[in-house]
Structure 1
């Protein structure tokens, strides 16, 4: 946790991954992020994975360090409260993150009527407003048909919701840019960020789109690294690692470590090529190279290789389950990004703060998600300026609720 955005107030009305991720990143940089949900929780409040007690690890993971207000959004009074909250006054307020539809009670037209300089990042599925989620967009841009092994025609979906995560980060960046512009010109803005546009632009930026326009879609290549040398290998004893050699130095070092310089040199002489100077040649001729590497790796254990891997800076990584990653000091255990904290579910486990590091500034500990409705009265009082009597009436009418739905 850092305080680069200290003083900024962001209101979040969203569900699932992209919108909450945007709010999470802003909160981890010090913004006050106030999330409103339906009383009893929104559509993602019980989403898997769950604790043994039925609490969503997903929800409390994506909503760390945020404040929570519970509102009955099915009632006109509740919708009006959400509108007022999004457009609440204050020089550092008027910033809203949502994935609610373009039209409706949280439309930019309605919100900007309450606050003309409102900044809104609206996460969408398709740019025309049709619904989509990460997995349906991913199938449409063709990634699942590139994944998998050549001998299996079935599409392979990604476990990681990459477009959701990229869209959330893109929305956070766009909001900060719009805030900077508002400081110059005083203007509000709605920024619509469809998952489909993030996916399509990313595929184009990486050259995948232009490649396909040549009339040839990329074939499945299993775990081979396209256009370079990289693949999974099985070591003596059965351990599997992922290894990559892109630069000339990485390539030469790998040959030295495995002691196969002579064998690879013989292939180069036969084919009339220089593998060190042209990474693409390593990919083109991988059918000749891979058996040499497979044999060399199969003769060595990871313990045999580790000293030279570390000494020479070989680019590799182990295949391991998430439970093993949790014990890996490079990833979780011992990583200063993580803090062991008590979560709303009652479980204590490591939670990450901001994924970047600022060496010149002390890192604060990660903060847990709030209990649903934990800050209802505080937000109504401090942000909307309601009196204790007005807040009590809203509770009595069931328009708002505190922790536990009260």
Structure 2
């Protein structure tokens, strides 16, 4: 039995943070019911590429969920949803602060229907504060929390991050974590709670080291100058002879000693007293003398904490990932299937169902009549 079997989640969210959070809950056994607009549904359904009628993105993020389509602006919408709200355990919403209240579905209104409901509000800036209603996307949160300013290229300009850190690490993951905290608290008190999940707030934890330095008076971190921003030869990215890259992280002395021996680094550049810039240049010259394939052979089986920077395709087909069965589950639509998105649910807690469909828009509308 999956740990969340019997738990019902009503999900009013669209696009990424909320749907990713409810996907994690669904993969642990919860019944997730998506509330979508009539005709168009979740905006993610329209994205490219496609898998049948819907986008691949939508299919991957909504595996195993159910769908109800309803116009929330209709005067009778709340009454139609009342039976679902009465028996639900969790509600997830991702509108700007105040929108759900204007629809008659704010926490105070919903709590009158079901006082045990855990009401999770995910937003960019949080439910309060001067920016609470400012429109923004992932890149904006990463930019305004100082993270983007520490990730720069050789010309000093910020580098566009390929991952949606605010949406997933700042929104979806903390939402799941706090939903579980709230359910545990409900076991003790019998009452639900509203959760204020701010994607921007939750990004600061990722720069704990920089905050520690700045707030203690030791100095605010600078791009390209700190241990993890390119200021050390022991934590750097080096170009190979064939234009690929080695991600080198031999931080501890035992790894650094092995690394410098294998790349045949001059002795004066190994010493901790060596000027960092000079040591970086010396390591770069050695790495540039061989191809990525050659370095992979040299580093194989050695304790050096070095990796060849992989493409996403190479990563998916890595023998270790294949052996772990990470992409062994599948998701489908009416017109095909593909490997399901791996989610951070330990295998012992995952449902035994290996294949699940993404929901057709409004497929479960009969639930409104029950």
The alignment's TM-score, normalised by the length of structure 1, stands at 0.78
Match of 1:309 in 2: 299
CA deviation digits over 1:351-374, x for unaligned, max 9?
134434446989652533222222
Match runs of 1:346-365 below 5 Å: 346-358=335-347, 364-365=353-354
For the pair 1:343 / 2:329, whether they are aligned, the reply is: no
In the TM superposition, residue 80 of structure 1 has moved relative to its aligned partner by 3.0
* SS of 1:330 mapped into structure 2: helix
Aligned to 1:6: 5
Distance 2:268 2:259 in 1: 16
Mean alpha-carbon deviation: is it higher for 125-134 or for 106-115?
125-134
Q: Alpha carbon RMSD of aligned pairs, Å? A: 3.0
Q: Please list every run of 5 or more consecutive structure 1 residues that lacks an aligned counterpart in the other structure.
A: 269-273, 276-280, 387-406
Match of 1:322 in 2: 312
Query: Hey, what's the Cα distance between the residues in 2 that align with 1:126 and 1:329?
Result: 40
CA contact (8 A) 1:72 1:78 kept: yes
Structure 2: stretches of 5+ with no match in the other structure: none
Secondary structure of the equivalent of 2:172?
A: helix
Shift of residue 122, structure 1, vs aligned partner: 0.7
Residue 173 of structure 1 aligns to a residue in which SS?
helix
1:148 aligns with 152
Residue 247 of structure 2 is matched in structure 1 by: 242
Q: Which whole-Å CA distance do the structure 2 matches of 1:168 and 1:180 have between them? A: 19
CA displacement 1:296-319 (0-9 Å, x = unmatched): 222333333334422113323333
Q: 1:297 aligns with which of 264, 287, 309?
A: 287
Secondary structure at the aligned position of 1:35 is classed as strand
Shift of 1:114: 0.6
Q: Secondary structure at the match of 2:328?
A: strand
Verify: 1:287 aligned to 2:289, yes or no. Answer: no
Q: Return the index of the structure with the highest Cα Rg.
A: 1
Q: Distance in 1 between matches of 2:292 and 2:355?
A: 35
The Cα of 1:14 is off from its aligned counterpart by 0.5
Q: 2:210 aligns with which of 202, 208, 211?
A: 208
How far apart are the structure 2 equivalents of 1:341 and 1:315? 33
CA distance in 2, matches of 1:7, 1:354: 20
User: Is 1:380 the equivalent of 2:359?
Assistant: no
- Residue 165 (structure 1) aligned to one of 165, 168, 174: 168
CA distance 1:173–1:355, shift in 2 (3 Å): closer
Q: Distance in 2 between matches of 1:134 and 1:109?
A: 29
Alignment of 1:177-216 (within 5 A): 177-203=181-207, 206-213=208-215, 214=217
Distance 1:118 1:350, change over 3 A: same
Shift of 1:163: 1.4
- Summarize the alignment of residues 248-259 of structure 1 with structure 2, pairs less than 5 Å apart: 248-259=253-264
TM-score when normalising by structure 2: 0.85
Q: Does residue 130 of the first structure (1) align with residue 133 of the second (2)?
A: yes
Preserved contact between residue 69 and residue 373 of structure 1 (Cα < 8 Å): yes
Does the Cα contact within 8 Å between 1:353 and 1:365 map onto a contact in 2? no
Counterpart secondary structure, 2:356: coil
SS of residue paired to 2:9: strand
- Residue 121 of structure 1, CA deviation: 0.9
Q: CA deviation at 1:106?
A: 1.9
The answer on 1:225 being equivalent to 2:228 is yes
Distance in 1 between residues matched to 2:138 and 2:163, nearest whole Å: 9
Q: Is the 8 A contact 2:27 2:351 kept in 1?
A: no
Question: Do 1:14 and 1:20's aligned partners in 2 also have CA atoms closer than 8 Å?
Answer: yes
Equivalent position SS for 2:317: coil
Q: Secondary structure at the match of 1:23?
A: helix
Post-superposition offset of 1:220: 2.7
Q: Taking structure 1 as reference, are residues 359 and 200 closer, same or farther at Cα in structure 2, changes over 3 Å only?
A: closer
Write the distance in 2 (CA, Å) between the matches of 1:94 and 1:361. Answer: 19
1:76 is paired with a residue of what secondary structure? Answer: coil
